[in-house]
Amino acid sequence: MFTLRFDMRAPAAVGTTPELYGAAIDMCAWAETRGAVMAVLSEHHGTVDGHLAAPTILASAIAARTSRLAILLAAVPIPFWDPVRLAEEICALDIISGGRVSYAFGIGHRAEEYEHFGVEMSTRGKLADEQLALLLRLLAGETVDHDGRRITVTPACASASGPHLLLAGGTRAAARRAARHGLGFISQTDSPGLQEFYEAECRANGHEPGMVQLPAPNTPTAVFVADDVDRAWDELGPFLLHDALTAASYRHGDDTVASISRAETVAALRQAGGPYRILSVDEAAGYLRGGRLLPLHPLCGGLPPDVAWPYLERAGAASANA
């Protein structure tokens, strides 16, 4: 079994953006019958390599082509969204997908994106709390009087309890925000005591703790399955390195995030224990037999679809044989 992650990055030299979007949808449709349990879509804005900026639109296309694949948008930077429009899009997606789309909300960490939207970065925590509070009331079906206007979101979500909502972040402030709003908590940073802090804050705010997901030690975040691992590193290495360098540049020296590598060469990226890994078919099957999901990143770094498909197919075969 495996997950699929898509961010749609495509360096200008690759120039495959239209093909990547079509391939992501096709891959999800193919994969849900071959062991895929979830597609994860990320969100960033104004990047030089075209990182996915409209995840709800891509999620809608994927939901329309699939029937049971779960879809997670992570992380959705709540300060950049109008909460009323976001509530409307969430409800529409819930209807289209039959309740298969979940959301992990964050506050963003790139100053360039705050400039892009004309939002003051120093106010992001307060703004996120305000936006979340309004969003949650609207998703609950309330008619809300807010800033002198009456707001009702229709049509409502199709699923009785609404979509599954989480808060993403790697700090105590993020854990506190999740607890305050009664949301589950997902973090790519395994800070000591973070889960216990979140659970205590939940109870202090009158909520039972929700789902918590923290990174496991020595666990990859972008996997490919190959017949010939050495040849695969030659073929995939430049694309994986672009992804690694770009993701690291977003974090400005923060090395606590599990998916971040500070490698500057393909050889360094390949070193054992890193977030980017290429496994043989036997290694992938063994990984799966250990009770873990393969976190696939099929179009990583703008990988052309015709190159990407065989790696995805081998992952599906490994899943079937595990």
Q: What is the pLDDT of residues 124-158, one digit of tens each?
A: 999 999 999 999 999 999 999 999 999 999 999 99
Q: DSSP state, 80?
A: G
> What is the spatial distance between Cα 10 and Cα 72, in angstroms, rounded to a whole number?
21
Where residue 66 falls among pLDDT bands split at 50, 70, 90? very high
Q: How far is CA 252 from CA 11, 245, 255, 258, in A?
A: 20, 11, 9, 15
Structure tokens at 220: 């990859």
**Whether pLDDT at 4 is above 80:** yes
**Whether pLDDT at 13 is above 70:** no
- Least confident window among 16-20, 80-84, 104-108, 208-212: 16-20
Structure tokens at 305: 């679809």
Q: What is the CA radius of gyration of the chain?
A: 20
Whether 240 and 276 have beta carbons less than 8 Å apart is answered as yes
Q: pLDDT tens digits for 117-127?
A: 999 999 999 99
Mean residue pLDDT across the chain: 94
Q: pLDDT tens digits for 152-178?
A: 999 999 998 899 999 999 999 999 999
For β-strands 184-186 and 276-280, DSSP reports them as unpaired
- For the chain, give the percent of residues with pLDDT over 90: 85
Where residue 255 falls among pLDDT bands split at 50, 70, 90? low
Q: What is the mean pLDDT of residues 273-301?
A: 94
**Whether pLDDT at 259 is above 90:** no
First to last CA, the chain: 9
> What is the spatial distance between Cα 234 and Cα 231, in angstroms, rounded to a whole number?
5
Sheet holding 36-41, edge to edge: 212-213, 184-186, 165-168, 101-106, 70-77, 36-41, 2-6, 294-296, 222-226, 276-280
